[in-house]
Amino acid sequence: MAKTYVRVDDRLIHGQTIVAWCPTLSIKEIIAIDDESAKNPVLKSIMTMGVPPMYKTHIVTTEEAKILLAQECNFNRLVIVKVPSKLEAIQAEIEQADLIILGNIAKRDDTSHKISGATGIFYLSDADVSLIEGFISRGTEVCFQQLPATTKMSWESFKKSIK
């Protein structure tokens, strides 16, 4: 059965996505959701330049993502968003996701929490924490993991470490 994985990573598609996450999760389709990037042919080209043709790759707007995610598929998908707030916009489409993996998120104006002991590249706002708690309460597994080979930290453990 096909699985859908969701990753929050402000870099969207990059080398680690291709050489680490896609093989580990047996991904066949990448759906990067970012309205700005989807409307910019240069950004789209840069992001897809290093993606091997064996991965069906989409850089799409939120509305385009909803259409793609509503389609049945028989292969594993990786949905990537830059910030947790984007998850709210696609909540219905990812409700059955197998896992939400929190990765790199840079400091933003509204962020007040960061992972304790991290390299300073993972920040959350109060709204992000609340949103993630909502996914957890509906039974979606959420974890923090930089790379597949690094330790996977559960949301409960991660939540204890945020400041």
Task: Using CA atoms of 152, 32, 34, 118 in order, give the dihedral in degrees to the nearest 10.
Answer: 20
What pLDDT is attached to residue 85?
A: 94
pLDDT at residue 102 tops 80: yes
Q: Which of 131, 129, 111 is nearest to 121 (CA)?
A: 111
- State the Cα–Cα distance between residues 114 and 126, nearest whole angstrom: 11
What pLDDT is attached to residue 52?
A: 96
- What is the CATH number assigned to the segment(s) 4-161? 3.40.35.10
What pLDDT is attached to residue 133?
A: 94
Looking at the chain, the whole-number percentage of residues with pLDDT higher than 90 is 72
- Tens digits of residue pLDDT in 9-31: 999 999 999 999 999 999 999 99
What pLDDT is attached to residue 117?
A: 52
What pLDDT is attached to residue 116?
A: 59
Q: Tell me the domain boundaries of the chain.
A: 4-161
What pLDDT is attached to residue 119?
A: 52
What pLDDT is attached to residue 55?
A: 97
CA atoms within 13 A on the CB side of 78: 26
Higher-confidence position of 1 and 92: 92
- Our separate counts of H helices and E strands in the chain read 9, 9
- Tens digits of residue pLDDT in 108-162: 898 888 775 555 578 899 999 999 999 999 999 999 888 899 888 888 887 887 6
Please list, in sequence order, all residues whose beta carbon lies within 8 angstroms of the beta carbon of residue 51, skipping any fewer than 6 positions away. 13, 18, 30, 57
